[in-house]
Each structure stands twice: as structure tokens, then as C-alpha cells.
Amino acid sequence: MEISDLQTQAETEVERLRSIGWTQGDFALALKELFMPRIDLDYLLNGGDKGDPTWEEVVEFWKEHDFISEEYLVQAIEKYLQTPEQRQQIFDVGLSIEKMLNGRFTGLQEAFVEQIYEAWNTKLGFKSFGF
């Protein structure tokens, strides 16, 4: 593809975005997000050549990205949020992360689930879990 073709495509796309109300600030934010280094789900869960992501990268991913499926969200919770004590407590009350995320717990277990969610939210520094 020639540079002139790319320029024509870019200009067409800019005009389309302006027609739906994009402002200069929207374009600036989109470009910033496009060129900012981001981590992907595989790196978040499995690390990479540079090792595991920093805690700041983990929190950013949690705020800004989608885990695609419950399976990946559960893996991330197990890796970054759940303590060994919480793992045992969840088992002891007959729950799993999956059951908690899907609201499959009794009224008697609700206070326990809220306590776990609060601990996870505190660790993340923002509310991601809860009612």
C-alpha cells in the first residue's frame, strides 16, 4: 500500500469521526491510547520475556480492559487478588470464585462474599467487585 493510499484512508476516517461528533480532544486521547504501551491478557496472566507485569500495570488492565471470559478473570483473581487465607476460607464455606462472581451463594454467605469483595477492591484501589 502506498503512502498516498494510507493518507486518503486516514483522511476519510477522520472525516467520518468528525461527522459523528469527535472533537480534537477525542482524537488526542485516541492517539495517546494507541501509542501508549499496554499489556495484553496473555502477559497479565502468564508474564513474558520481561517477567511479570508490575502492580501498576495489573491495576491499569483491571480498570481499562476486558477479561474476555470468566475463566481469565478467575485466573487473574487467583494470581493477583486472592490470598491463601481467602482461598481456604472460600473453600471452607463451600464456595468458589465462579459461584461468587455469578451470585450463586446463600443469604448466609452474602456477608462473607461482601467481605472478600471489599478486600479485593481495597487491594485494587477502586471498586471492581460487589453489589
Q: Kindly report, residue by residue over 27-58, the tens digit of the pLDDT.
A: 777 776 666 555 688 888 888 887 889 999 99
Q: Strands of the chain (E only): list them.
A: none
Q: How many other CB atoms sit within 10 Å of the CB of residue 72?
A: 15
Question: Is the pLDDT reported for residue 10 higher than 80?
Answer: no
Assess contact for 62 and 73: CB atoms under 8 A: no
The DSSP bridge partners found for residue 51 are 48
Q: How many other CB atoms sit within 10 Å of the CB of residue 6?
A: 10
- Residue located via cell numbers 469527535: 22
Q: 75 phi and psi, to 5 degrees?
A: -60, -40
pLDDT at 22 (0 to 100):
83
pTM above threshold 0.75? no
Q: What does the block give as the cell for 14?
A: 477522520
Q: 51 phi and psi, to 5 degrees?
A: 95, -160
Assess contact for 39 and 53: CB atoms under 8 A: yes
